[in-house]
Structure 1
Amino acid sequence: MDSKVLQETHRKNTSIKLPELLAPAGNFEKFRTALLYGADAIYMGSENLNLRASADGVSFSQLKTAVLEAEAKKAKIYYCLNALPMEKHLKNIPSEIEQAALAGVHGFIIADPGVLRLAKKYAPQIEIHLSTQANTTNSESINFWKEQGVSRVNLARELSCSDIYRLRKKCPDTELEVFVHGAMCLAVSGQCLLSAWLNNRPANLGRCTHPCRFEYKTLEAKPKTQCDSCDGDLYPETELSVSERKRPNERVWTIDQDRDYARFWSPQDLCLLPYLPWFVKNKIDSIKIEGRMKSSAYVAYVVNVYRAALNQLSTLTQNNSLNLFDSSAYLQELFSTATRPLGSGFFIPNMRLNFNETEPGTENAHNTNTKGQRLLARILDLDQQKFAEAAKEKGDWNIEIKGTWDSSLPAELMLPNFKKVILEPNSYSLENTRGEKISVLHSGVRARLKANNPELIAGIFIRSTL
């Protein structure tokens, strides 16, 4: 290749900016997990205005520590104020805004106009990011919020790639954020998505067909597994199809019943990992993972996968070869932590993919048991660096057992950037907290791992091998 062309190509590609990887943290442990596994930014809240009332949240002391630890790794902290408060809640909001600002957060995530107004009054120096709860679907809305002081908009989840593309072109100076992974809500207050999903007639455009009021009838019910494979279970896996009165022979909804009960109104989780090159090409500023209510292990799995995928894309952009991105290995890893099938949601116009069905050999792969890898333990965080260095030097690690661990079997270290290292049985041992050697440990206890492997670091998870 001509050197001038090579220089121009390199110059062109290095101008491509990767999206920020924005990860959830329902508590301080999950924050450290997200940071360890490569998040560029982390969103969290207190017990109050953060739309996850059941999440532990963080104290303002922990929030300040989180900001310092994040900045040490050039990451950011966004503080959630995205609930829609009643009048009785307003009196506590100014104090919460001021304390979060004093902790040094890099942005507020807000949905309610009143909260936004208070944030501008009590902490005007902090960036405001508009929550997806504001349901932003068009450029005029984006421009309106920008005039109110919003620097970033998390777009409505029902937008397709074509819709997002148009908004990016119309609003080049506003940061755009998109959810790419996690649970999908079918309704937010009165903003129901059932009609859009079933009949392509969005309620938010006044075209609701009211499928919640339709009359449904069982069309077909059949076991997904043979009876002799159910191990005596009274409720084998079942697939139930229903029709609607005006479409008597058409499958309107299909319910996959796993054993006893089915998640009818949450049929798939969103997964846009295969389309990350699109987000890079179209200069989306931030890709967001849902899951503040999920476990630390979930955060580790998902953030690790998306970080590794983005790192691969960084390399591919240097070579002008984004089309060579292969998501198959990453999807396999995500299947191991998903409790529901992973799909494309509304992202592809007029089409919805279930990746568990489209990936060869991955039928029912969202069931973690089919993959055969189980979580064994997590190496506990060590707050002070000198303790971490001492643990590494001695090969003596405090661990929390997550599943039955048999020390006669190999184990796999889940390291950042999708790196996997095997601990062979003769290279480690397990002890209880009294220092007694134990061959098998069970979930829920704390113990010690004796191993001198240089790859061991605080905070990582350990799982069984295939």
Structure 2
Amino acid sequence: MKRPEILSPAGNLEKLKFAVDFGADAVYLGGKLFNLRAKAGNFTLEEMAQGIEYAHKRGVKVYITLNAFARNDDFKSIEKFVDEVKELKPNAFIVSDLGVLSTVKERAPEIDVHISTQANTTNYRAVKVYRDLGASRIVLARELSIPEIRRIKEEVPEMELEVFVHGAMCMAYSGRCLLSNYLSYRESNKGACSQSCRWKYYLVEETRLGEFIPIEEDENGTYIFNSKDLCALPVLDELVSAGVDSLKIEGRVKSAYYVAVVTSVYKRALNLLLSDKELFKKELPTLYSELEKVSHRPYTLGFLKGGDEILQHYETSSYIRDYKFLGIHRGNLWDVRNRLEVGDEVEVFTPSANVLKLKILGIYVEKKGKFVPSGAANPNQRALIEFDREVEIPENSLLRRREVKTPSLSSV
């Protein structure tokens, strides 16, 4: 089996660095306009230059999202954006609109073009058309099964195939949705989705205003459009054997902690799979449990196994957040992100996805250039932390604390 890349989200410069440091082979990011994550921090041109330089120095590729659906009046701005960004030498533009595709090919022919999942490519003939138009990669529609993905690769082996393996899913076909436009006047196809599908709905009969009738699938079932989150880790071996070239993680609006943990887990799983398949299977439950320690909705395989399971989560649109991110290790210090205290039982998550379980015995916070004893450390402080045993903690390791009892894991 050939090695696919791990492709991670970079909602801002800090998240890009987390993705790179925790094992991403490539990252994708957007500018301030014309990408489908308007609520992500996104990048100014200067930040984009810094991010591309940081990634390229470490052998990591950078793809620029330009995947909003354009209108006539958008193209002057799009042309200017392409002209400016191409000078930074990204590895590819990700587009969904045919007009944007032609613009990129005309103004930046030296840069690869990837076709976004928004183009909802579901068959090999469409892949061949995009190949003939000059695209080098297709981000396949999330509605495809693994056998369908394999068939596309067999029919068009020269085309790179990118598949989402983790993160939030949209109830609309390939993300093409108008709910947000109608209910909150925010255009989802230009990146401003208000996630109206996550709302809790009631019915109101025309002549009985004020009488709200719950919509029930069962006693909890009013979140009728609310999709579960995708987690393809249990079928990673099948995706790799199908010939997938890029394993894509969703989450440009997620936290830096999410980006780091998910990237690291998939990278370690891929390394195990390609070196020792039996060891991969043995370690799979442990790696899966790490993915339950980031903010997520209940997981699903989506359509990868045919879509026979229930893909909607009816009970609530809230995330499961059992762990709190406390800080990141820099040299021998910790950059504190959330309050931590002496006596806390914590975990250190390393860039290689190893976990150390420790207890905090002492905290020394920085004040006026000195480190003084303290019972706690607060966000934005730097601290020295004494644990209950001496361990070597790698650079960029993450500190976290379990906030609630984690439910027992279902078998993988």
Same fold, TM-score > 0.5, yes or no: yes
Give percent identity, aligned residues only. Answer: 33
Please, which of 303, 306, 312 is the counterpart of residue 346 of structure 1?
303
The match for 2:326 is 376
Q: Deviations over 1:379-420 (max 9, x none)?
A: 46xxxxxxxxxxx3xx3x251322x31123343221112122
Please state if 1:171 is matched with 2:181.
no
User: Does residue 437 of the first structure (1) align with residue 373 of the second (2)?
Assistant: yes
1:318-333 aligned within 5 A: 321=278, 324=281, 326-333=283-290
Preserved CA contact (<8 Å) 2:327 2:334: no
* Aligned residues of 1:277 and 1:322 also touching (Cα < 8 A): no
User: 1:30-429 maps to which residues of 2 (within 5 A)?
Assistant: 30-187=15-172, 242=216, 253=217, 256=220, 263-316=223-276, 321=278, 324=281, 326-349=283-306, 351-352=308-309, 367-369=320-322, 373-379=323-329, 392=331, 395=332, 397=333, 399-402=335-338, 404-426=339-361, 429=363
How far apart are residue 322 of structure 1 and its match? 8.1
1:114-144 CA distance string (max 9 Å, x none): 1111111111000000000000011110000
Quote the RMSD (CA, aligned, Å).
Answer: 3.0
Aligned to 1:199: none
In 1, the alpha carbon distance for the partners of 2:355 and 2:239 equals 27
Quick check: 1:430–1:448 contact (8 Å CA) kept in 2?
Answer: yes
CA shift at 1:145, angstroms? 0.4
In 2, Cα distance between equivalents of 1:276 and 1:266: 25
Shift of 1:62: 2.2
Is 1:19–2:4 an aligned residue pair?
Answer: yes
CA distance in 2, matches of 1:60, 1:411: 39
Does the 8 Å CA contact 2:349/2:355 hold for their aligned counterparts? yes
Residue 430 of structure 1 aligns with an amino acid whose one-letter code is Y
- Aligned-pair CA distance for 1:186: 1.2
Contact 2:27–2:61 (CA<8 Å) still a contact in 1?
yes
Q: Report the 3-state secondary structure (helix = DSSP H, G, I; strand = E; otherwise coil) of the residue aligned with 2:244.
A: coil
**Is contact 1:255–1:264 with CA below 8 Å preserved after alignment?**
no
What letter is aligned with 1:342? Y
Give the distance between the partners of 1:26 and 1:422, measured in 2 at CA: 30
Question: Which 5+ residue runs of structure 1 have no aligned equivalent?
Answer: 1-15, 195-215, 218-239, 243-252, 357-365, 381-391
Cα deviation for residue 276 of structure 1 reads 0.5
Read off the aligned partner of 1:300 and give its amino acid letter: A
Q: Corresponding residue for 1:212?
A: none
**Shift of residue 256 of structure 1?**
4.7
Asked if structure 2 preserves the Cα contact closer than 8 Å seen for 1:186 and 1:193, the reply is no
Alignment deviations for residues 174-212 of structure 1 (CA, whole Å, 9 cap, x no partner): 100101111111115995799xxxxxxxxxxxxxxxxxx
Aligned-partner Cα distance in 1 for 2:134–2:161: 14
Q: What is the aligned partner in structure 1 of residue 195 from structure 2?
A: none
SS, match of residue 429 in structure 1 = strand
Encode CA deviations 1:24-82: one digit per residue, 9 max, x unaligned: 01000000011111111000011111111111111222222222222222210001101
Q: Which residue pairs with 2:186 in the alignment?
A: none
Number of the residue aligned with 2:397: 460
**1:153–1:45 CA distance, 2 compared to 1 (3 A):** same
Quick one: distance in 2 between partners of 1:287 and 1:124? Answer: 25
Give me the whole-angstrom Cα distance separating, in 2, the residues matched to 1:287 and 1:455. Answer: 28
Moved more, 59-68 or 134-143: 59-68
Cα drift, residue 424 of structure 1: 4.5
What TM-score do you get using the length of structure 1 for normalisation?
A: 0.71
Offset, 1:325: 5.5
Judging changes above 3 Å, is the alpha-carbon distance between structure 1 residues 414 and 114 closer, same or farther for their aligned structure 2 residues?
same
Name the CA shift for 1:192/1:57 in 2 (closer, same or farther; >3 Å): closer
**Contact (CA 8 Å) 2:342, 2:376: kept in 1 or not?**
yes
Classify the secondary structure of the residue corresponding to 1:368. Answer: coil
Q: What TM-score do the two structures reach when normalised by structure 2?
A: 0.79
The one-letter amino acid of 1:54's match is: K
Change (3 A) 1:50 1:168: same
